[in-house]
Structure 1
Amino acid sequence: MARRPVTIVTGGSRGIGAATCVRLAAAGHDLVLGYAKDDAAAEATAARVREAGARCVTVRGDTSQECGVERLFDIAGAELGTVTGLVNNAGVTGPLGRLADATTDDLRRVVEVNLLGYLLCCRRAARDMSEAGGGYGGVIVNVSSAAATLGSPGEYVHYAATKAAVDTLTVGLAKELGPDGIRVNAVAPGIVETDMHAAMGDPDRPARAAAGIPLGRPGQPEEIAGAIAWLLSPEASYTTGTVLRVAGGR
């Protein structure tokens, strides 16, 4: 009997993360759903994953802290077995606005979650997945953003900067980990209808942005999840070091 993939999804309680968990469950993955604070949302997503026939463990924690990342992977290994997949999705933007008006605390938090958190998760995944270290190999998918190349002036250039760093991390780490049996790719969504926009203070942003998107609409979380699931699948077995843009043409 083939071994089921064991995949960690950070920021898995809502939006793109939740859609990814459900999509991967349908594709035969067992899931570890990492989340920051919303217990009810995490359990609701976990219930959908289990309905699809997959095992699911929820782990509350902060991926910008080393202890939170180590605990996440330790629980994954203890409950489900050796990790073979990581979706680095947890992220924050801070309030919309010009860089000149941003607080130092907001800047620090965006860098710590969006970049340091990804680095910590990738480091632990590399250690656990490496074939040379006794792992089964695996796949890392980093959730980047179209903001990495657009810059997002007047909105959140600091967030865009962290996502550009994620793209560089993806390319470099793919080259570093290829010999260890680990593929590393990224998905760069455009504007997607999630509650992230309300959290940053502009719930109507997706509808307002539609006029500037060649396909004429914002994306849906399920559309991003489909790209992530493909990169994790055997169908993408020769794809590594790629940043797949899923942004409606932006």
Structure 2
Amino acid sequence: MKLSPRSDRPVLLVTGGSRGIGAAVVRGAVARGWAVAFSWREREAAARALVDELSAAGAEVFAQQADVAVEAEVLALFAAVDAHFGRLDGLVNNAGLLERQARVEQMDAARLQRVLGANVVGSFLCAREAVRRLSTRHGGRGGAIVNLSSRAARLGAANEYVDYAAAKAAVDTLTLGLAREVGAEGIRVNAVAPGLIDTEIHASGGEPGRIARLQSAVPLGRGGQPEEVAEAVLWLLSEAASYVTGSVLDVAGGR
């Protein structure tokens, strides 16, 4: 898919970019000279505030509502990026969700569909659309994809979020398999696996104080900040990581 560039800057799409790690990636990318598009699902006010903040500072940035678990909305999101910027150089698959803490025997099919839809189906759909634009096989210039995984994928999240952990394990497999598919087509695919990071996700799971409860098990003795995860994501997007693909980088304080 050949696009007619409307921006001189490289263009990055960040899904779920209105808050937390996503917003930190958006801000960090803008500071490094990217033009940035990001999606949001429910937090319109936060998305608009972030666009206004960055636009006032001279950034090229726009936001669009999209539920990445819905194929039609993913197609509309990428079409909007095409129309607004005329190019794509990178994707950060950040959008995802978890549900309230529960044991596996308490989980119903609707919950599983929501968790797997947002974290797995959404990552696949967005990666697919990015490859169609980035791959030299399709007339693209190459680029980079960074998926957001989680240390939960290898810790299991027993008694809390086994479904979320399983979804992030699928993201790890997507990362490795896709990296091997498209490496010769100019695309690097990597993932970042955050540990206990100070975002609203813990409140979404029903325990706002989860970091305080668990941080003593972290060798560095504290929870992380979204900006610390964003730094890893931005490095993997950069030419400094030009020989890195198919990797999952832990940002978890040693846990």
Cα deviation digits, residues 65-116 of structure 1 (max 9, x gap): 1111111110001101211110000011111111111222111100011000
1:202 alignment partner in structure 2: 207
Say if 2:84 is the partner of 1:79. Answer: yes
User: Unaligned 5+ residue runs, structure 2?
Assistant: 1-6
Confirm or deny: 8 A CA contact 1:82 1:135 kept in the other structure: no
1:130 alignment partner in structure 2: 135
Counterpart amino acid of 2:110? D
**Matches of residues 51-200 of structure 1 in structure 2 within 5 Å?**
51-200=56-205
What secondary structure does 1:12 align onto?
coil
Give distance in 2, aligned partners of 1:171 and 1:70. 24
What secondary structure does 2:250 align onto?
strand
What secondary structure does 1:132 align onto?
helix
Aligned equivalent of 1:244, options 211, 232, 249: 249
How far apart are residue 52 of structure 1 and its match? Answer: 4.6
Counterpart amino acid of 2:150? S
Give distance in 1, aligned partners of 2:89 and 2:13. 8
Give distance in 2, aligned partners of 1:98 and 1:205. 17
Give distance in 2, aligned partners of 1:231 and 1:148. 20
Cα deviation digits, residues 41-71 of structure 1 (max 9, x gap): 1112223332453211110011001111111
**Matches of residues 226-241 of structure 1 in structure 2 within 5 Å?**
226-241=231-246
2:226 alignment partner in structure 1: 221
Cα deviation digits, residues 175-216 of structure 1 (max 9, x gap): 101111000000000010001111111100011111111100
How far apart are residue 228 of structure 1 and its match? Answer: 0.3
Higher mean alpha-carbon deviation, 37-46 vs 144-153, is at 37-46
How far apart are residue 131 of structure 1 and its match? Answer: 1.5
Higher mean alpha-carbon deviation, 97-106 vs 50-59, is at 50-59
Counterpart amino acid of 1:233? S
Give distance in 1, aligned partners of 2:21 and 2:57. 18
Confirm or deny: 8 A CA contact 1:21 1:49 kept in the other structure: no
Q: Give the TM-score of the pair, scaled to structure 1.
A: 0.97
Q: Give the TM-score of the pair, scaled to structure 2.
A: 0.95
Give distance in 1, aligned partners of 2:124 and 2:178. 10
- Runs ≥4 in structure 1, deviation > 4 angstroms? none
Give distance in 2, aligned partners of 1:164 and 1:101. 21
RMSD: 1.1
Could you tell me the percent identity over the aligned residues? 51
User: Unaligned 5+ residue runs, structure 1?
Assistant: none
Give distance in 2, aligned partners of 1:150 and 1:22. 30
